[in-house]
Amino acid sequence: MARGDAEFVEFVHAASGRLAHAAYLMTGDHHQAEDATQTALARTYASWSRVRRDDPYAYTRRVMVNYIVDNWRRPIREYPTDEIPHRHRDDVADEVTARRWLQIALGTLTARERAIVVLRYLFDLPELQVARELEVSVGTVKSTSSRALGKLRQTLVELPSTPGGQR
Amino acid sequence: MNETDRLRAAIRATEPEGWGQFDVEAIMREGRRLRYRRRAVAGAGVMLSVAVAAVGVLVVLRQPGPVEPGVPPVVTATATTPGAGSTVDPTGPPEKPALGEVLGTGIWYGGDERVFYFVPVEVPRAAGVTIGLVAGRRSPDGRLTADFLLNDFEGSDRRPGFHQIGYEPSAVVVPADPVPTFGYFVGPAARIVGSVGKRPVAAQLSRWSEDSDVVIFWFHPKSLPPGQRLDGILAWDAQDRQL
């Protein structure tokens, strides 16, 4: 295997987990999330010689997020609440509560709002970088983010329990 | 803890393990295919002011479609606005005649009707691909305007079975004259049914005038919103045998 290929394999193993989770948050559907992640990784590999020395993770994320926003076709619809979370932390009930809250909260957002929420709060990207990755203005990021948080705040008010909070 | 903290905590609390078990070999194969196609197209010197969507087989002629960052717009083939008196869009592809009859669908946008027709195409290193299916519009004076060209990019365009399926690029940003989901099947198909989740959606069919083995199909926008991706598609013959 060529050195570039070995690097790509290593990159996939290191990056695909969080990318897939981000895709799942944006689509609410495991199948679509896997499809988006694989598509982004394949496009990254197609340009690997060019992007490997730059920032392949940012490149893949940008391709994936824009792919989802461009191809998004129906409201977020599936956050199974009856399945056991994959990771068994100390308190499974907290995870189930968080998952349920996410299902409701993200379901109120548009595709672009979800993309901004995921880039801001999963990847912790500053607004300027979010704007670059989505190819929109910083003002659009600010206003969209504000609108999304407003919806989330409303969802939070309407729910009796708080997700991911202190036990 | 405010709502952004709760959001951040919830997002991270639900991050599962087990993601990332992808087939790296399959991803690399697809990546090589993309890379090869870009080079083949660049080598052929084909550069038009249209863009390829849906991994290089769906050419959006109405307007440039979404292009992944860093990838220049490319096109794998050409399409036409047939008719001696037709006006060619200055940014459009060179004119070629339609092959066979132009198929009317009964789908109207004001005075324009959605039509389908085949045109000749040339695809670099794919000698077996000579036709492409165009989704166009026919104006009241008979003038044709091509919106989408759908063609294979490898193998044979008469290979039995389903070929590429054309979708409106986005189900969110839909133009006033959206292209119905469409494609063609080679074989004795009498019924074609797609599925979205568990919901079956029947396609409308018509045989191509130049080759009765070629069945053009499309999904009426009222039964399948343009841009909505199918989860599956099957064909049956006149004896109701699955093909």
Check whether residue A33 and residue A67 sit in a common domain. Answer: yes
Tell me which residue in A8, A63, A111 faces B28 most closely, judged by beta carbons. Answer: A8
Q: How many domains is chain B partitioned into structurally?
A: 1
Domain presence at residue B204:
no
CA distance B181 to B203: 9
- Nearest-CA residue of chain B relative to A6? B24
CATH number, domain of A27, equals 1.10.1740
- Encode pLDDT of B104-136 as tens digits: 999 998 888 999 999 888 877 778 888 888 888
CA distance B168 to B144: 19
Q: How many domains is chain A partitioned into structurally?
A: 2
CA distance A36 to B123: 27
Rounded to 5 degrees, φ, ψ at A138 are -65, -35
Contacts of A76 (CB under 8 A, 6+ apart): A27, A28, A29, A103, A106, A107, A109, A114
Tell me which residue in A12, A59, A105 faces B24 most closely, judged by beta carbons. Answer: A12
Nearest to A42 by CA among A27, A24, A29, A60: A60
A152 near A105, Cβ under 8 Å? yes
- Last-in-domain residue among A46, A77, A108: A77
CA distance B105 to B112: 11
- Last-in-domain residue among A21, A50, A77: A77
Which one is predicted more confidently, B115 or A50?
Answer: B115
Report the gap between the CA of B34 and the closest CA in chain A (Å). 6
CA distances from B122 to B34, B36, B154 (A): 18, 17, 11
- Strand positions, DSSP E, A30-97: none
Give the sign of the dihedral formed by CA A60, CA A61, CA A65, CA A68.
positive
Which residues of chain B are modeled with pLDDT < 70?
1-3, 14-20, 36-96, 169-175
CA distances from A127 to A61, A104, A142 (A): 15, 25, 7
- Nearest-CA residue of chain B relative to A166? B1
Check whether residue A49 and residue A105 sit in a common domain. Answer: no
Domain encompassing residue B124: 27-179
Out of A35-39, A49-53, B171-175, B220-224, least confident range: B171-175
Report the gap between the CA of B133 and the closest CA in chain A (Å). 22
Name the strand (E) or helix (H) holding A164: none
Instruction: Indicate whether this complex's ipTM tops 0.90.
Output: no
Domain presence at residue A82:
no
Tell me which residue in A13, A62, A166 faces B20 most closely, judged by beta carbons. Answer: A13
pLDDT given at position B190 = 93
Check whether residue A43 and residue A95 sit in a common domain. Answer: no
Give the number of C-alpha atoms closer than 13 A to the C-alpha of residue B230, restricted to the C-beta side.
23
